[in-house]
Amino acid sequence: MDGYTRMNKIKEDFMRIVFLAAACASILCVALICVFLFANGVPAIGKIGFVKFLTGQEWRPGNNLYGVWPMILGSLYVTAGAIVTGVPVGVLAAVFMARFCPDWLHRLLSPAISLLAGIPSILYGFFGLVVMVPAIRVVSGGSGKNILTASLLLGMMILPTIISVSETAIRAVPESYYQGALALGATHERAVFFSILPAARSGIMAAVILGVGRSIGETMAVIMVAGNQAVVPDSIFNGARTLTANIVLEMGYAADLHREALIATGVVLFVFILLTNLSFSYARLAKKG
Amino acid sequence: MELWQLRRRPLSAFLRLCVMLAAAAAMLVFLILVGYILVKGIPNIETGLFEWEYNSQNVSLVPALINTVLITVLSLFIASPLGIFAAIYMNEYAKKENRLISTVRIAAETLAGIPSIVYGLFGMLLFVVALKWGYSLIAGAFTMAVMILPIIMRTTEEALKSIPDSYREGSFGLGAGRLRTVFAIVLPPAAPGILAGIILAIGRVVGETAALIFTAGTVARTPAALTSSVRTLSVHMYSLSSEGLHIKQAYATAVVLLVLVITINSISGALAGRIAGGRG
């Protein structure tokens, strides 16, 4: 081996290690996030008491009462609301784009949907605040900042995710399903809805789970329209505070146990997200298997 | 099916109506959202918004805009090499599907699914508190770097995958090593795809709010040092709309932010479309 090839060999090996290290960076990031969140949040849960923290109905930092149950419910309610409003519209729109839409229209719709996905949540929130809140106020009375408003806004925000993932799933169904249905005398609509759509259900399920993840994690838009009252809501016209909102609203001035309790709120949120991610992977595995 | 047949097939007619309404609703969301912000915002754009210094009279967005650029550039500086190198390892070096590769994949997917407020908490705990950087430009940039890493990794990997194996085989056949093959043969044609990913990441940083409030802070001035607290345009937008004192300026700032993000994402989309078109 002459000097030149040896140099090359060293260079090759060195860069291989650099690339490998870069690949491991994402593992390191996940590990760091877990360590820092859990190390700072879990002790607070211990101090407050696991059950008292998770199922406590009252969040009053002034009185040392730290129960995140209202926020857990708040997050679940607005997420459920977003799914109820966003998924039907999103899936039907995806069906339109995959199976009903003329080419020229698809060339208009498709970029619009991807731009919609890129609009920052703060702008959705601003739109919700200046347009939707006054409109809902007419119906609901009160401030207009409530679960219904947040659900509708989140439903709009998850539309692009639902549409693009569902459209991909619908397009992936073999054409023979459609042709078979037509050959049996089905109309175009029946063939699409009763032959193609069922075959795409695992992909659509994945879209729904992605939507759930986005809704649970959404912060800025929800803060501006949900009202943020830290009490258990009993109607969709009540305001609610989500886990995410709880952190942003109080982190600025919190200290000591209050601050740790907010980080613990983040831990609860993180666990919810990990669970949705797991079910997403599961939905995708189910599709492959 | 022709229109006259629909009357005899009520279910089909109903289904068709449903999908059309849904598509119209989705389009309407886009048009109303963008249209409303543009219509209400453009008349409120004044020269005061573009003055060099921010104060409560002019509510200038220029410092926030400069801060946004600084944070974006810094975070790209950190995340791009990492993301691109990681993708190179995943696609060019690793043997298919060993345990390390699947762990990296799971980690990247987990990162992609983490909401921005959790990044914000993490950035605050690690960079602001543990490393004692305080609310600062650099803490914000590092937080953003972690957030955009999976985006850059994924898009780069897709771009690398789109390069046919014959390129690599040709290069190896001529005696080039793996390293030279990657840099001289594979990366150049993949460049537009990688760039599309980077621009997409820029759009993400520009639009980010929740992860920056507690890492970069909210000071509306251009930074004196890497450790100065800064607010980006999105955080500025949040301050304006939650204070409710400068509603006109909030509308105008929304227009600037919207146009910025839409432009960035369109460029990314056009680049990505170009390589997809070239392949087909």
Residue B7 clears pLDDT 80, i.e. is over it: no
- Closest chain A residue by Cα to residue B94: A20
> What is the per-residue pLDDT across B240-269, written as a single tens digit (0 to 9) for each?
888 878 888 899 999 999 999 999 999 988
User: Looking at the complex, does the CB of residue B26 fall below 8 Å from at least one CB of chain A?
Assistant: yes
Q: Is the pLDDT of residue B3 over 80?
A: no
Per residue in A24-49, pLDDT (tens digit) is 999 999 999 999 999 999 999 999 99
d(CA A256, CA A79): 31
Q: How far out from the chain centre does Cα B68 lie?
A: 13
**Is pLDDT above 60 for A289?**
no
Chain A to chain B Cβ contacts (< 8 Å): 259
Q: State which amino acid sits at residue B74.
A: L
pLDDT tens for each residue of B35-87: 999 999 999 888 878 887 888 778 888 899 999 999 999 999 999 999 999 99
Question: Angle between the A201-217 and A243-251 helix axes, to the nearest 10 degrees?
Answer: 20
Chain B interface mutation, best of A11, A29, A105, highest count of B Cβ atoms under 10 Å? A29
- For residue A131, report the phi and psi dihedrals to the nearest 5 degrees: -110, -55
| Lookup: tokens for A66 | 């730290």
The CATH T-level fold of domain B49-279 is MetI-like fold (1.10.3720)
Name A46's Cβ contacts closer than 8 Å, sequence gap at least 6.
none
Cα–Cα distance, A98 to A170 (Å, whole number):
7
pLDDT at position A285: 73
Q: Which residue has the higher pLDDT, A289 or A220?
A: A220
Is the pLDDT assigned to residue B279 strictly greater than 50?
no
Residues of A in contact with B37 (CB under 8 A): 123, 126-127
The residues in A 51-80 lying below 8 A from B, measured between CB atoms, are: none
State residue A282's pLDDT score.
80
| pLDDT category of residue B185 using cuts at 50, 70 and 90 | very high
How confident is the model at residue B50, as a pLDDT? 83
Q: How high is the ipTM of this complex? A: 0.91
Query: Does the structure show a pLDDT above 70 at B280?
Result: no
Q: What is the pLDDT of residue A164?
A: 93
Rg over CA atoms, chain A: 24
Q: What's the CA gap between A246 and B25, in Å, rounded?
A: 32
User: Which phi and psi angles does A12 have, rounded to 5°?
Assistant: -55, -50
- Taking all residues of chain A, what is their mean pLDDT, rounded to a whole number? 91
pLDDT number for residue B99: 86
Per-residue CA distances from A273 to A207, A266, A269, B33 (Å): 15, 10, 6, 28
Confidence of residue B6 (pLDDT cuts 50, 70, 90): low
What is the predicted pLDDT for the residue at B5? 64
Q: Does an H or E element contain A59, and which?
A: strand A59-60
Put simply, whether B269 touches A (Cβ < 8 Å) is yes
3-state secondary structure of B226: coil
Provide DSSP, B49-84: GG-SS--TTT---HHHHHHHHHHHHHHHHHHHHHHH
Range in A68-72, B196-200, B273-277 with the lowest mean pLDDT:
B273-277
Contact B203 A27 (CB under 8 A): no
State the pLDDT at residue A279.
85
Query: Positive or negative, the Cα torsion across B78, B84, B90, B92?
Result: negative
Task: Answer whether residue B203 shows pLDDT above 80.
Answer: yes
Q: Does A269 touch chain B (CB under 8 A)?
A: yes
Question: What would you report as the CA-atom Rg of chain B, rounded to the nearest whole angstrom?
Answer: 23
| Residue B50: other Cβ atoms inside 10 A | 14
Placement of tokens 């890497």 in the chain: B226
Query: What does the pLDDT look like over A208-219, one tens digit per residue?
Result: 999 999 999 999
Question: For testing the chain A interface, which of B5, B19, B187 should be mutated: the one with the most A CBs within 10 Å?
Answer: B19
Chain-chain contact of B12 with A95 (C-beta, under 8 angstroms): no
Answer yes or no: pTM beyond 0.90.
yes
What percentage of chain A exceeds 70 in pLDDT? 98
Residue B234 above 50 pLDDT?
A: yes
**End-to-end C-alpha distance for chain A, whole angstroms:** 49
pLDDT at B152: 95
